[in-house]
Structure 1
Amino acid sequence: MTDNHSQIPPQRPDFIIDSWDFSVVPAQPVHQNYHQRQQSWFHFQRDLPGLSDWLLAAGIPEPLIDAVLEEDTRPRFERVSAGFLLILRGVNLGLGEQPEDMVSLRILFYNGNLYSFRKRPVNAVRALQKKLELGEGPESIADFLVHLVDEANNQLEQLLDTIELEMEELEDDSKGTTAQRQRQLTVLHRRLLRLTRFVRPQIAALDKLAVDGPKLFEAEWVQWLLNERDNTQRELENMDMLLEQVWMLREHLQQEVAEKMNRNTYWLSMVAGVFLPISFLTGLFGINIGGMPGVDDAAAFWIFSGALLIIAVIEFLLLRRLRFW
């Protein structure tokens, strides 16, 4: 009598988020016999226990395991004997997250299989998972890599479109005070710097992958990868242009502030210049000592006030003639 329990496939480990077999078209999900496969993709949650032992059992060398599980990484490419290690970054579109705080995706191609590792969800991978579930996704490991870079570029392009709209708002002099716009501009500048910090080395990593690509994949795939690399370069150039706009707008706002201060200082100086002789005369005639003229004359105050008015008018006309404004 056959034991029914033997027909139940073993439960998938918690650290395996998803797995697909690309040796058939369309790709099919993998639920068992993980270590006896070729041309398959495995997606892992890298901070769960047991993953390191599983990778060792799959025949992956310990130095590569340490490389894909280390905490802090930057985009890079490294050729290994039986494949390559590729580390990419994607924009963080998670709920409540900062998009420019780019999430890391570690990719290891080894002995014909592709292994990807994440700590936080990567939207580009999630988009590919949905396509695979619908039977519309990539058809091979190489095709998967091209689609992955393409999805990452799409996410980055959407973010840059949003930043461009924010930039247009800041360039409108009627929107907010100068101080408010300067604060918003500082935040925008910081976001762009964080993006370029990871996108620039990512282009270098894709360049190296394209150079080694013909040793592992078909020439057509390498051309598609080069196209995606060019798209990444274009997004970087857009970021550089936005950074230039940020500097130009910052200089414009600083010039506005300087002009306002100069104008206010100028008018204060004009007012002080007009009232300086008047203040001197009022101070002089305000001293309470004997011998002051007009003390016993009832009309002296009005005569003195008229003289001050005449002096003010003469100063005004003189400054106007000398084109002080």
Structure 2
Amino acid sequence: MSFLIEHWQFTSSQPKRIDAYPEQLQANHWYHCERNDPDTKAWLRKHHIPKATLEQFITNENRPSFHPLGDDNFLLLLRGINSNHSVVAKEVSSIRILFYQGALITTQTGSDDTVQSLLHSLNKHREPENLAGLVNQIIDDLNQKMDDYNDAMEASLEQQDHLPHSDNKLRMMKNSLLSVRHFLKPQQHAIHDMVTAKPSLIKLRSHQYRYSLNTLIRLNEEIDYFLEEISLHQEENKNLREQKLNQNSYLFTILAAIFLPTTFLTGLFGVNLGGMPGLKSDLSFTLFSIILIIIFIIEWLVIKRFGFINKNKDRDN
């Protein structure tokens, strides 16, 4: 019975943990199984779960979705992130929920914070008191972890105004948000479909499920906002790089304009110095240097007069 991780009875006011092997599915019981264990599929087949439903329940499909199965039965596929209070969502969990003939069956792969939190609450004799509350608590716990993730993302983006992030950091944050939005948007549609379908289990806590749906809508809106803000920061970083490049190019152009005439004269005299008058004079080099300095000063004054130097300073500001 290693495939069955937890078995709880919700037929009384106080949920009760069951250790005995379940010979048959019973209404108001919760069965939590290991999805990848081969015995899980065999056990579900033994209890006459329809083949199509069973394949959807065990499959590795990760896209959140809601599937009404008739007679108030339904299959709900959910995803979430384990809490790490980081802007990078590395651990993505997957929870499958099957409500069939009054019994609730869930599966997980590996360790899942949401289920562990739920079991902790049950062991402490807290909520949930029924299966409707159990499903609602699973959804709310997934939403809470997403809320924590969004809070961490918001705090990181607020730092951008004081200590700008590198392009690599912004790219990493954007990729993380895109991966989260990839499953959170379908999850919103899945919960909406479930609330709209109104199976009997949901009717018991319809207002709580609508609140959970509204939370999902808000979370998706926040992620869209974060993505837009990151795009703005990336564009700002790009503009700063281009501005700095333009400033450097402008500075080199000014320097070239100043030194080009003097360089031309020094080159010309260097090649033709043998034929220049005043070669034998001791003052020839001194006079030539003074002439170059005068030309340099005149060029500097002309460039400054036309405002090229001030334009460069304005760009720096």
Judge same fold: TM > 0.5, yes or no.
Answer: yes
Q: 1:71 to 1:218 in 2, by over 3 A?
A: closer
Structure-2 residue corresponding to 1:149: 139
Contact kept? 1:100, 1:192, Cα under 8 Å: no
Contact kept? 1:101, 1:194, Cα under 8 Å: no
The separation in 2 between residues aligned to 1:46 and 1:220, in whole angstroms, is: 28
1:69 aligns with 2:58: yes
Structure-2 residue corresponding to 1:79: 68
Structure-2 residue corresponding to 1:276: 260
Structure-1 residue corresponding to 2:112: 122
The separation in 2 between residues aligned to 1:162 and 1:290, in whole angstroms, is: 75
Structure-1 residue corresponding to 2:185: 200
Structure 1 stretches of 4+ with a deviation exceeding 4 A read: none
The one-letter code of the counterpart of 2:134 is F
Give the TM-score, by structure 1 length. 0.89
The separation in 2 between residues aligned to 1:163 and 1:223, in whole angstroms, is: 29
Query: CA offset at residue 317 of structure 1?
Result: 0.6
Structure-2 residue corresponding to 1:212: 197
1:241-320, aligned counterparts within 5 Å?
241-288=225-272, 290-320=274-304
Structure-2 residue corresponding to 1:109: 99
Query: CA offset at residue 290 of structure 1?
Result: 4.2
1:25 aligns with 2:13: yes
1:16-53 per-position Cα deviation (integer Å, ceiling 9, x unaligned): 11111111111111222521521111111111121111
| DSSP 3-state at the match of 1:287 | helix
Count of paired positions: 306
Contact kept? 2:104, 2:131, Cα under 8 Å: yes
Give the TM-score, by structure 2 length. 0.92
Contact kept? 2:10, 2:131, Cα under 8 Å: yes
Identity %: 28
Query: CA offset at residue 288 of structure 1?
Result: 4.6
Q: 1:41 to 1:77 in 2, by over 3 A?
A: same
Gaps of 5+ in 1: 1-12
The one-letter code of the counterpart of 2:65 is R
The one-letter code of the counterpart of 1:92 is N
Q: 1:36 to 1:229 in 2, by over 3 A?
A: closer
Contact kept? 1:170, 1:181, Cα under 8 Å: no
Gaps of 5+ in 2: 310-317
| DSSP 3-state at the match of 1:286 | helix
The separation in 2 between residues aligned to 1:103 and 1:226, in whole angstroms, is: 23
The one-letter code of the counterpart of 1:211 is T
The separation in 2 between residues aligned to 1:169 and 1:74, in whole angstroms, is: 33
| DSSP 3-state at the match of 2:205 | helix
Query: CA offset at residue 289 of structure 1?
Result: 6.3
Q: 1:245 to 1:231 in 2, by over 3 A?
A: same
More deviation, 31-40/258-267: 31-40
More deviation, 261-270/56-65: 56-65
Across the aligned residues of Structure 1 and Structure 2, the Cα RMSD in angstroms comes to 1.9
The separation in 2 between residues aligned to 1:185 and 1:65, in whole angstroms, is: 42
1:189-244 per-position Cα deviation (integer Å, ceiling 9, x unaligned): 1111111111000000000000112x423645122101100001111111111111
